Amino acid sequence: MKTLRNEKGFALAFVLILAAIALAMTLGMLSMVSRGSYVSGQQKRYRTAVEAGRGGVESMLQLIKSRGIAAGYMTVSNQASLDAKLGTPTTAWIALDNAITIDPDTPATYDMRVDLGSTYRVYSKIVDTVEGNSAASDELLKTGVVNTSSGEVVVVGIPYLYTIEVLSQSRTNATERSKFTLLYQY
């Protein structure tokens, strides 16, 4: 009976249990901090790739506005293909690539490339061209029963609608990338 009530060594066991709990909590905190910095770094790299992609979008829109005349910082992979994509609807394209995938290693899969510094490279291509409404109907314009000064509706011409794919990718790490798909009216 005396050995059951003996409290020798109880303090040691209690301290060991508390030390194990403190160690587990410390390891948990270190794990959360290291995972947080990893996620933060990934978000930073993704945001940088998105900003590079936005720059590539602006470059592609500038190329469309200039009707295929590339600025000095742009590299057009096939000028004849780009001209055909800018001026004809997709249904009239013969042997032109309109897949949404862009392979940076194959120049035939993109229309334009832009190098943004030494870090990022942006690839873009037109994957679909649709003719918009070219103008209002000539038969009814200013010749109908409606007074031309009061309620005439003038239709704004939309020559083309372009679907554009943009891929921005780091030149040193291929996993740092972003992709955009946009519809542009010009």
Instruction: Encode burial over 161-176: b for 16+ CB neighbours within 10 A, e otherwise.
Output: ebbbbbbbbbeeeeeb
What pTM was estimated for this model as a whole? 0.70
How does residue 135 score in pLDDT terms, banded at 50, 70 and 90? very low
Question: How far is the C-alpha of 168 from the C-alpha of 55, rounded, in Å?
Answer: 9
How does residue 174 score in pLDDT terms, banded at 50, 70 and 90? confident
Q: Strand (E) positions, the chain? A: 74-76, 112-116, 120-131, 160-170, 177-185
Identify the pLDDT of residue 164: 94
Q: Tokens representing 172?
A: 């040193």
Question: How far is the C-alpha of 153 from the C-alpha of 138, rounded, in Å?
Answer: 13
How does residue 137 score in pLDDT terms, banded at 50, 70 and 90? very low
Q: In the chain, count of helices (H) and strands (E)?
A: 2, 5
Average pLDDT, the chain: 84
Q: Tokens representing 141?
A: 């314009």
Q: What is the tens place of the pLDDT at every residue in 13-28?
A: 889 999 999 999 999 9
Question: 77: which residues sit within 8 A by CB, 6+ positions away?
Answer: 107, 108, 110, 111, 112, 113
Percent of the chain with pLDDT over 70: 83
Identify the pLDDT of residue 99: 87
Identify the pLDDT of residue 93: 86
